[in-house]
């Protein structure tokens, strides 16, 4: 299954969770989700009891669309987490959070993860002084992330007015100079997506 490229608001409405796929500036007042429009489709408002499988699938789709990944990519992260030491839930989230595109978004150098992925792919981002154009590149503790000097005006214009969430404590950011650093690999309680989505249900979905 390829990455979803259809209407972004439709996904948030269908899953019942605002995934901020259009960025915080747009979501603030114009989002159909914020206007109270429910699930899309003719029967979107009907309440249907969901099966246990449906609940697990829904949580999986929330997390997959939040990070903007294909099913094949997403499952590969689960498999890597499942084979590593420690909690599969925590390792799964750590692998997703330490993708370079997500880190660029978390540092507030982009308004959405999709925009961050584009910035990385177009060669606007450096890691430890070297240009990296692979969105799935995994950062490590003490890695330094920076927008190329020649790209800073372009990126500043693209994110002008963007507020976003507070930069998480496992990162430090100099948003004025578009520089940041990975202080440490995030712990489970430092990853806010783990509070929005029941990751244990996703693990159950794939382990069945």
- Of the pLDDT bands very low, low, confident and very high (cuts 50, 70, 90), residue 18 is low
Homologous superfamily, domain 99-185: RNA-binding S4 domain (3.10.290.10)
pLDDT value at residue 162:
87
Residue-wise pLDDT for 184-205, tens only, equals 999 999 999 888 899 999 999 9
pLDDT value at residue 47:
58
- Of the pLDDT bands very low, low, confident and very high (cuts 50, 70, 90), residue 141 is very high
Write out the CATH class of domain 8-96+192-207.
mainly alpha
Are residues 79 and 141 in contact, defined by beta-carbon separation less than 8 angstroms? no
Task: Please determine, for residue 29, whether its predicted confidence score (pLDDT) is greater than 90.
Answer: no
Residue-wise pLDDT for 88-123, tens only, equals 999 999 999 999 999 999 999 999 999 999 999 999
Q: Which of 129, 92, 117, 119 is nearest to 204 (CA)?
A: 92
The helix (run of H) or strand (run of E) holding residue 103 is: helix 100-106
Q: Dihedral through CA 8, CA 186, CA 184, CA 162, nearest 10?
A: 30
Q: Which of 61, 55, 66 is nearest to 1 (CA)?
A: 61
Torsion sign, CA atoms 15, 117, 85, 185: negative
Angular region, 142: left φ>0, alpha ψ -120 to 50, beta rest: left
Percentage of the chain with pLDDT > 90? 70
Q: What angle do CA 94, 19, 125 make, to 5 degrees?
A: 55
Q: What is the DSSP letter of 189?
A: G
Residue-wise pLDDT for 38-92, tens only, equals 555 545 555 567 899 999 999 999 999 999 999 999 999 999 999 999 899 999 9
pLDDT value at residue 1:
42
pLDDT value at residue 33:
47
pLDDT value at residue 116:
97
pTM of the model: 0.81
In the chain, domain spans:
8-96+192-207, 99-185
Angular region, 160: left φ>0, alpha ψ -120 to 50, beta rest: beta
Task: Please determine, for residue 130, whether its predicted confidence score (pLDDT) is greater than 80.
Answer: yes
């Amino acid at each position: 299954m390829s990455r979803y490229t259809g209407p972004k608001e439709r996904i948030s409405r269908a899953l019942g969770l605002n995934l901020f796929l259009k960025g915080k500036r747009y979501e603030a007042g114009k989002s159909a989700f914020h206007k109270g429009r429910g699930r899309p489709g003719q029967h979107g408002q009907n309440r249907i009891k969901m099966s246990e499988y449906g609940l697990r699938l829904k949580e999986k789709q929330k997390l997959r669309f939040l990070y903007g990944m294909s099913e094949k990519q997403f499952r590969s992260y689960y498999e890597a987490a499942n084979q590593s030491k420690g909690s599969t839930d925590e390792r799964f989230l750590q692998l997703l959070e330490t993708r370079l595109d997500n880190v660029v978004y978390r540092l507030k150098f982009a308004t959405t993860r999709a925009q961050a992925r584009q910035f990385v792919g177009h060669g606007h981002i450096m890691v430890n002084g070297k240009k990296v154009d692979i969105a799935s590149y995994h950062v490590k503790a003490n890695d330094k992330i920076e927008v190329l000097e020649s790209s800073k005006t372009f990126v500043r214009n693209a994110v002008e007015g963007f507020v976003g969430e507070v930069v998480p404590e496992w990162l430090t950011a100099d948003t004025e100079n578009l520089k940041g650093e990975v202080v440490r690999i995030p712990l489970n309680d430092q990853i806010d997506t783990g509070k929005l989505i029941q990751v244990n249900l996703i693990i159950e979905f794939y382990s069945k």
